[in-house]
Structure 1
Amino acid sequence: MDAAFSTEVDVRYRDLDAAGHVNNAVYATYVEQARVAYFDRVVGTTLGTGDAALASLSLTFERPVCDPRGTVTVTARTTDVGETSVDQRHRLLCAGERVATAEATTVTLDAAGEPRPVPDGWRAAIREFETDPV
């Protein structure tokens, strides 16, 4: 999976467990940061305003983050835009080595919190940005 979008996430002291490893739950936070940045920069919308919500997240851990005082690169690639949802794949890299992968689905919501069609503007922005057809 090549991804045109990536962002750097600083590993914080609070991310570490007693053994000095990045806690497994924190990987989801790193994916969240990349997902929010993707929607901000690519789609032009700010998640967290009630117009979308995370519907599912799956993480596969491969190895510990190599430098708990450094940064993690998180990539994002939209793999599908459905009627009411956007699917993405993520890679988490440390010094160029993959440490985890993730798949996330974001659902668009109306004012009542019910699923609504993905806006045409979102679809167009994603299609224009992604190098592989979505």
Structure 2
Amino acid sequence: MTHEKTVEIRWRDLDAYHHVNNAVYATYLEECRDEWLTATLGDASDPWDWVLARVAIDYRRELTQDDDVAVVRCALARIGTSSITLREEIRTSGGDLSAEAEAVVVARDRATGRSRPMTEAEREALAAALEPS
């Protein structure tokens, strides 16, 4: 299941070069990822029990205020023992690829602050969202 979120490009997102600052791309990806995680896990888990462990972004095309919006997509690529790997991308409204990313999100034990194995309910909810290879 791919989740899509349209994010308005705000004036404050721009840097001195008049394009969206590279760090803002991470925020756009996070907004989509958080919505995806909440929708996918449903009642199986609290999204606050998951933390970002890794994100890698390949920038392909700048975004500017003239693009108006960024279209962000997120899909599950892999399920591990205590983590999931997500494929993410940012495109213009016209479909031009602006960035590709991979994120690893880990199930976290609130009491210890350490990673934990996924529950069966979490694993089932995630398996239902797994994109075919």
1:123 maps to: 123
Whichever residue aligns with residue 6 of structure 1, its letter is E
Cα distance, 1:87 vs structure 2: 0.5
State how 1:1-134 maps to structure 2 within 5 Å: 4-44=2-42, 45-47=45-47, 49=48, 51-65=49-63, 67-68=65-66, 70-94=68-92, 95-110=94-109, 111-132=111-132
Deviation at 1:69, TM superposition (A): 5.6
Distance 1:68 1:86, change over 3 A: farther
Q: Does the CA-based 8 Å contact 1:16-1:68 persist in structure 2?
A: no
TM-score by length of 2: 0.87
CA distance in 1, matches of 2:62, 2:35: 24
Question: Which whole-Å deviations, capped at 9, do the CAs of 1:12-60 have from their partners, x for residues lacking one?
Answer: 111001221000010011111111010111212553x3x1111001000
Report the Cα offset of residue 66 of structure 1.
Answer: 5.1
Give ranges in structure 1 of 5+ residues lacking alignment: none
Letter matched to residue 118 of structure 1: M
Structure 2 residue runs of 5 or longer lacking an equivalent are: none
Q: State the Cα distance separating 1:11 from its structure 2 match.
A: 1.1
Q: Is the 8 A contact 1:6 1:75 kept in 2?
A: yes
AA of the residue aligned to 2:99:
A
Aligned-residue sequence identity (percent) comes to 32
User: For residues 99 and 41 of structure 2, what CA distance do their matches in structure 1 show?
Assistant: 25
TM-score by structure 1 length? 0.87
- Aligned pair count reads 129
Structure 1 counterpart SS, 2:128: helix
Per the TM alignment, residue 128 of structure 1 is displaced from its structure 2 partner at its CA by 1.6
Q: Could you tell me whether the CA contact under 8 Å between 1:12 and 1:69 is conserved in 2?
A: no
